[in-house]
Amino acid sequence: MPYILPAQRMAFFFSPKSGGTSLRAFLFHAENGFPFRDYSVQGVWYDANRLAGNYRFNHRSQEGVERFRRFALLRDPVTRFLSGYSNRVLHFRELSIEAAGPMLLQEGLPPDPDITTFTENYVGYLRCSKPVARHFLKQQKFIGSDPAYYERIFTLERIDELAAFVNAECKTDARMPRLQTGGPKLDFFALPEDVQYDVLNICRHDIAFQIMPEYWRPYAHLIEAPVAAPADLATTAIAG
């Protein structure tokens, strides 16, 4: 489901590891006039991720927002992949013995894989952990495959444009926080060449490469281009 601002009739769609936690907190601030902070109710802890569920895009996602102004947030698929590995595998250790031991044993895979082992056995590791598998779904699984569905598509790399737009529309001065940053920062071009190829092959069919051709340019010299998009796909409803 998107994060909805009913008063402005606006709906924002986003994917895991594409700035969604920060976006939720920012939109809460814009909607309520004060910053979000984690809180507890009768011993149950609530963080920004509880503000809006991040479910797959389907007809349920569209219920009630057909006449809303709709927006999406995208991220470079390669940096999103590396962020997912750093955050979910290294930081939260969702492929550790404690978190996924029985499934790792079933798949015959070592726990806490380094980036080379993870990319070489990517599909097997996704079978070992539902949380990991969810975070590595392509972005079209969460925003759909039709950019014309949106009035405007923003990018995480230029997230200030989204913040400025929402503040202007809502007549607020909300601040975009930087949340869910646990884990080391990985440089794609510092990775071994075979890992670079593996990452690109995994990410190449992400819709962000079709909607935002500039995302592909840094990697074009390493691997052939992803499947070409229809001519109007890369020019419709684009911002950033």
At 188-230, the pLDDT tens digits run 999 999 999 999 999 999 999 999 999 999 999 998 877 544 4
Task: Please state whether the predicted TM-score (pTM) of the whole model is above 0.85.
Answer: yes
Which of 169, 142, 156, 144 lies closest to 236 in space, CA to CA?
144
Q: Is the distance from CB of 212 to CB of 74 less than 8 angstroms? A: yes
Within 25-183, strands assigned E span: 39-41, 44-46, 69-74, 152-155
Show the tokens assigned to 231: 């001519």
- Tell me what pLDDT residue 103 has: 98
Strand 10-13 relative to strand 69-74: parallel, antiparallel, unpaired? parallel
> 217, 122 in Cβ contact below 8 A?
no
Q: Which amino acid makes up residue 158? A: R
Compute the distance between CA of residue 214 and CA of residue 15 in angstroms, rounded to an integer: 19
Task: Give the pLDDT confidence of 128-139 residue by residue, as tens digits.
Answer: 999 999 999 999
Name beta bridge partners: 198.
none
Phi, psi of 155 (to 5 degrees): -120, 150
pLDDT at 91 (0 to 100): 95
- Dump pLDDT digits (tens) for 62-102: 777 888 999 999 999 999 999 999 999 999 999 999 999 99
Report the candidate in 231, 202, 204, 238 with the shortest Cα–Cα distance to residue 220.
204
For residue 230, the model assigns a pLDDT of: 41
Neighbours of 225 (CB within 10 A): 11
**Which residue type sits at 166?**
V
Residue 227: its pLDDT value, please?
A: 56
Question: For residue range 98-120, what is the model confidence (pLDDT) as tens digits?
Answer: 999 999 999 999 999 999 999 99
- CA diameter of the chain: 55
Local structure of residue 111 (DSSP, 8 states): S
Is it the case that residue 30 has pLDDT exceeding 80?
A: yes
Measured distance CA(72)–CA(62) in Å, rounded = 13
Q: What is the mean pLDDT of the chain?
A: 90
Backbone angles phi, psi at 62, to 5 degrees: -95, -10
